[in-house]
Amino acid sequence: MRYVSTRGQAPVLDFEQAMMTGLARDGGLYLPETVPAMTRDQIAALAGLRYEEVALRVVTPYIGDSFTQDELRGAIARAYAGFDHVSRAPLIELAPGHHLLELFHGPTLAFKDFAMQLIGQLFQLALKRSGQRVAILGATSGDTGSAAIEAFRGLDNVDVFIMYPHGRVSEVQRRQMSTPADANVHALAVDGNFDDCQARLKDLFNDHGFRDEVGLAGVNSINWARVLAQIVYYFTAATSLGAPAREIDFTVPTGNFGDILAGSIAKQMGLPIGRLVVATNQNDILHRALSTGEYRVGTVAPSISPSMDIQVSSNFERALWLAYGRDGSAIGQLMEELKSGGFTISQGALEHLRETYVSGRASEAETSAMIATIREETGQVICPHTAVAVKVAREHIRAGVPMISLATAHPAKFPDAVEDAVGIRPPLPPHMADLFARDERITRIANDAEAIKSLILERRTA
Ligand SMILES: *Cc1c(COP(=O)(O)O)cnc(C)c1O
């Protein structure tokens, strides 16, 4: 399997190289040259299998010679062993025809664990083989950072540096990043918002001298391996409701477009997904882009669903590349225009996007009201990101087509928003019950690429 960059100017890589590289050297994102198809029979055979077995079958065609089947099987087993639900990604019925896919049973209580735990295992295999050392650099709106730290803490040949926007993550999120005592963990509170963190990340990756000197590796959802791991639960969920014999719709609470892009790849592989519904909070650039064709960057307004507080949505570049017929120079040009505030999606590309995606938004009040509604109707307490999805999903349910909304985080990760909505503070699961008693370690840092570079050079142990 060969991986190519969305901007067409970076070397073609194999899976392991694409995983270790993260962001392509031309500033683009890697995607497989062709998406492997699964036959109807192969998809039907997934129904009822264990999550780990489905993962092995879905992921294998993308790996090429990078890992043996035994290595991959072992990595998948270790990645999901720590999840506290036997199904890994259980599906529950919310209302007739509307289901919730619970993706928060991993160690840090958000869906990011699905990809990060696997990528942690695959990095270890690759680094052991090569003897290489790396500095992992991530930007987070909260959940990616804690998931990455959990996946890489304590490893010999890895330092993990996570930038998050100072004051803009929930206390649980911050503590998950600041309390691991391992010397190779570095939580950086950046004076800026999440888009600033992502911009600094790109600055450092685009400084090729620095990148090579410290062995910079990226585990944000710009990393193809992240997207790949997330394809799996679309298969487990859809086949448990009768796919491939019937069509299934999904609604995904969306920020950086990684999770929903994984759904679109599942669809390209042959899974009969009807519609993928992009659900945004008040930071609705994606909803505006899909409704009007204008991708215009506004300012981020902090919300009660902070993991979706974003204006520049990295993985949307991958969807654009597919919609523009894999034309790297067209994408390069759009991204150039983005530097001065935005671009217009061509009519052809917009039509292509609309064949797969529809969209909607939820305001702060609507999000909060939906947490309360779901509690009244079902007794379930959902997190604010999930509430955004459920609100938008309800507007897009089609007769006879099951709708699956992705529940991306555990409500205990966002206790303030939940308490405001329903008057109760959901308790943390037992393995995290003492989170508020643990010591924190945080480095406050300016929104400045040079300052961040110096800190990495000074602190790295690997
Ligand atoms: C990251 C995250 C999202 C958004 O996912 P993307 O892949 O960035 O679109 C939604 N909800 C939660 C809880 C998250 O952590």
- State pLDDT tens for residues 22-41: 889 899 999 999 999 999 99
Residue 446 forms part of a structural domain: no
User: How far apart are alpha carbons 441 and 109 in whole angstroms?
Assistant: 21
Give 298's Cβ-side CA count (13 Å radius). 14
Backbone angles phi, psi at 250, to 5 degrees: -130, 145
Nearest atom in ligand 1 to the alpha carbon of residue 385 is 11
Cα dist. 209→178, 318, 448 in Å?
Answer: 29, 26, 18
Q: Which of 51-55, 153-157, 294-298 shows the lowest per-residue confidence on average (mean pLDDT)?
A: 153-157
Query: Residue 118 falls within a domain, yes or no?
Result: no
Average pLDDT over residues 210-222: 90
Confidence at residue 21, expressed as pLDDT on a 0 to 100 scale: 87
pLDDT for 113: 96
CATH label of the domain that carries residue 407: 3.40.50.1100
**What is the domain extent for residue 298?**
91-108+224-422
Q: Would the CB of 112 count as within 6 Å of ligand 1?
A: yes
Measured N-to-C along each axis, helices 171-178 and 143-152 cross at an angle, to the nearest 10 degrees, of: 20
Which residues face 283 on adjacent strands? none
- pLDDT band of residue 248 (cuts 50, 70, 90) is very high
| Cβ of 308 below 6 Å from ligand 1 | yes
Residue 247 lies in a domain: yes
Q: Which two tokens stand for residue 150?
A: 């959990």
Q: Which has more confidence, 462 or 330?
A: 330
- In this structure, are strands 3-5 and 30-32 parallel, antiparallel, or unpaired? antiparallel
Mean pLDDT for 347-362 is: 98
Residue 129: CB atoms within 10 A of its CB come to 11
Residue 407 CA to ligand 1 centre (angstroms): 10
User: pLDDT tens digit string along 365-400?
Assistant: 999 999 999 999 999 999 999 999 999 999 999 999
134 lies in some domain? no
112 is catalytic: yes
Q: Indicate whether 318 belongs to any domain.
A: yes
What ligand 1 atom has the least distance to the C-alpha of 254? 9
Q: Does any ligand 1 atom lie closer than 6 A to the CB of residue 280? A: no
129, part of any domain: no
H or E stretch covering 145: helix 143-152
Q: Map tokens 């998950």 to a residue.
A: 176
- Ligand 1 proximity of 415 Cβ (cutoff 6 Å): no
Q: How far is the CA of 120 from the centre of ligand 1 (A)?
A: 19
434 half-sphere exposure, CB direction, 13 A CA radius: 6
- The DSSP line for 239-268 is HHTTTTTS-EEEEEE-SSSHHHHHHHHHHH
* Domain presence at residue 263: yes
443 pairs with which residues across the strands?
188
Q: How many CB atoms lie within 10 A of CB 377?
A: 10
Number of domains into which the chain is organized: 1
Mean local confidence (pLDDT), 147-152: 95
Say yes or no to pLDDT of 254 above 90: yes
Is the Cβ–Cβ distance between 197 and 204 less than 8 Å? no
Nearest atom in ligand 1 to the alpha carbon of residue 221 is: 7
